[in-house]
Chain A
Amino acid sequence: MERFINTILIGISGGSIYGLMALALVLVWRSTRVVNFAQAGQAILSTYIGYVVISHTNNYWLAFPVAVISGALIGALVDILLIRIMVKRAHQGPVAAIAPVIATLGLLGLIRAVVGLIWGGDLRQFKLPVTNHGFTFGHTTIPFAPINLLIVVITFLVMLIFALIFQRTNLGLALRASAYQPEIARLSGIRVDLTRTIGWAFAGSAGAIAGILVTPTNYLAPNSLDLLLVSGFVAAVIGGLESLVGAAVGGLILGIGLAFVLEYVSSSLAFPAAFMVLIAVLLVKPAGLIGSKRSRNA
């Protein structure tokens, strides 16, 4: 029983990170219909920027907002400098659909290379904001540590803030309208291009939060978030790719599912296990758990 609960707790902590990454991917997908492989690169760049702040100030809580703001700016820049132009140039047909995706893959490679040039390829330790020694109850110490609690709490707050922005503010209304029906949004006077860029900035900040939360429990290297990108995609697809709630739920399901496979089956299954969870969910619900009612016009 104890082992079971511990596995769930660890799963929730891991799943929070997947959920944040999924959120970053969903925000872009539903507004622009682009599968953004560059998100791993954007997140690693903002995490390195956070790393610079920490190495100068030794203060994680200063690095955190700097990384988040950098992530937002990077997201906005990717949209303005790359995606807008690709989407505008691309008209119809299979090449037009695939071109922006290839572009984001290329950008991922480019950012990784730039990061490698600036900071080198070696693995770096990242300062822990709180300890990673598990909570102790009497004589037992569980795997779930204050750092895991912090991850869960921050993720919850971030999701809550996003939900409030999207459901309760005019900006959120503009973001949803521009994602669902860009033409009608335009005909209602909404600046859809600007709104999309804000969506990319939000996505970038979500990815940055995932990066700066997960890196202290791991290590920092130019490719250290690549696996997280895969998990984020899997979580996003489990959640149906369209909704913020879906991203969060998909992240949790993947996190808990993975934790169980690693704990009860084999710890060498990390990568395939993500896809096992994905396939299991899609066999039951082919449109994802929270699939859209109807397919939307891009």
Chain B
Amino acid sequence: MSGLVITNLEVNHGAIRAVRNLSFTVESGQLAAVIGANGAGKTTLLRALSGLKHVHAGNATWHETSIINKKPENLVRSGIVHVSDGKAVIPELSVKENLALSGIWRKDKKDVARATTEVLDLFPILAARLSQSADSLSGGERQMLAIGRALIARPSLLLLDEPSLGLAPLIIEQIFSAINSLRHTYDLTVLLVEQNATSALQIADIGIIINLGELVTVGPSHSLLNDPALRAAYLGY
């Protein structure tokens, strides 16, 4: 079947089994929120899917093609783009250069220009800061820049690691609404890792709850939001 299919995935950090026997499916075009406490293995899962982390067993396929243990740069070039945690920008480069990075290997330069314009329309604050160094940006602006850079690669599968981390509520709202709008505009499949469970589930189609590297449950996000037991155990309210 098409989409992202993960089967019996095992990822270790040395002796630590960070992801264990994990299986779930995200259909093409869906937004899936991955929810779990600190250390649940969310970042490890995304790093495995983007090629940064070696997978020990199991498989992950995107549109029927295996994506595990591949070079990250090749996965990016085939549309799987990971925005890593911690506002992944290169502070030594300007905003413009950060955006340009994911366009320099692309053949279709016209589309790179188009994508750049679209990103600047989506996040106008970046347009005003193009020649500044990324070091001078606020946390929210950095997150916008990181997402913007990912979009210029024209992703089909977007992996977002805690885009709301450390941001003010107003900015979080802005980021989430941007994610929600761009996934419709570009018909993206999104894996959104969040500790901000409620906000994430509100824009997600499905929720995937993991704990200590294992799947707790996967289901439509509205039913997860309304399940009192899950709310108490994993959503923290």
Contact = CB atoms under 8 A, between A and B. Distances in A.
A188 interface: yes
A181 B88 CA distance: 9
Given A183-B84, A184-B84, A184-B88, A190 B93 contact: no
Nearest to A173: B97
Interface of B: 50, 52, 71-73, 76-77, 81-84, 88-93, 97, 100-102, 104-106, 135, 149, 153
Nearest to A192: B73
A190 B84 contact: no
A181 B83 CA distance: 14
B53 to A, nearest CB: 11
Task: Pick the most buried of A184, A191, A192: most chain B CB atoms within 10 A of its CB.
Answer: A184
Given A174-B104, A189-B102, A189-B153, A184 B90 contact: yes
A228 B135 CA distance: 36
B145 to A, nearest CB: 11
Secondary structure class of chain A's binding surface, majority of residues: helix
A246 to B, nearest CB: 14
Contact of A173 (B71, B73, B100): B100
A185 interface: yes
24 contacts: A173-B93, A173-B101, A173-B104, A176-B92, A176-B97, A177-B90, A180-B91, A183-B52, A184-B84, A184-B90, A184-B101, A186-B72, A186-B73, A186-B76, A187-B72, A187-B81, A187-B82, A187-B83, A188-B153, A189-B101, A190-B105, A191-B73, A294-B91, A296-B92
A189 B77 contact: yes
A170 interface: yes
Contacts of B82: 187
Interface of B (DSSP majority class): loop
Interface in A144-197: 170, 173-174, 176-177, 180-181, 183-192
A293 B134 CA distance: 13
A187 B84 contact: yes
Contact of B73 (A170, A181, A190, A293): A190
Contacts of B91: 180, 294
A4 to B, nearest CB: 39
A181 B84 contact: no
A259 B102 CA distance: 47
A185 B101 contact: yes
B140 to A, nearest CB: 18
A188 B101 contact: yes
Nearest to A186: B72
Contacts of A170: 100, 104
B11 to A, nearest CB: 17
Contacts of B100: 170, 173
B52 A190 contact: no
A294 B37 CA distance: 31
A189 B105 contact: yes
Contacts of A188: 76, 101-102, 149, 153
B81 A181 contact: no
A190 B73 CA distance: 6
Contacts of B93: 173, 176-177, 180
Nearest to A170: B104
A177 B73 CA distance: 13
Contacts of B153: 188-189
Given A173-B100, A189-B73, A184 B89 contact: yes
Given A173-B101, A173-B104, A187 B76 contact: yes
A293 B105 CA distance: 29
B180 to A, nearest CB: 23
B89 A180 contact: no
**Residue of A177, A191, A294 with highest tally of chain B CB at under 10 A:** A177
Nearest to A167: B97
A293 B81 CA distance: 29
B90 A190 contact: no
A189 B97 CA distance: 14
A296 B92 CA distance: 10
A173 B97 CA distance: 7
Given A183-B52, A189-B106, 5 more contacts: A170-B100, A180-B90, A186-B73, A187-B88, A189-B102
Interface string A262-298: 0000000000000000000000000000000110100
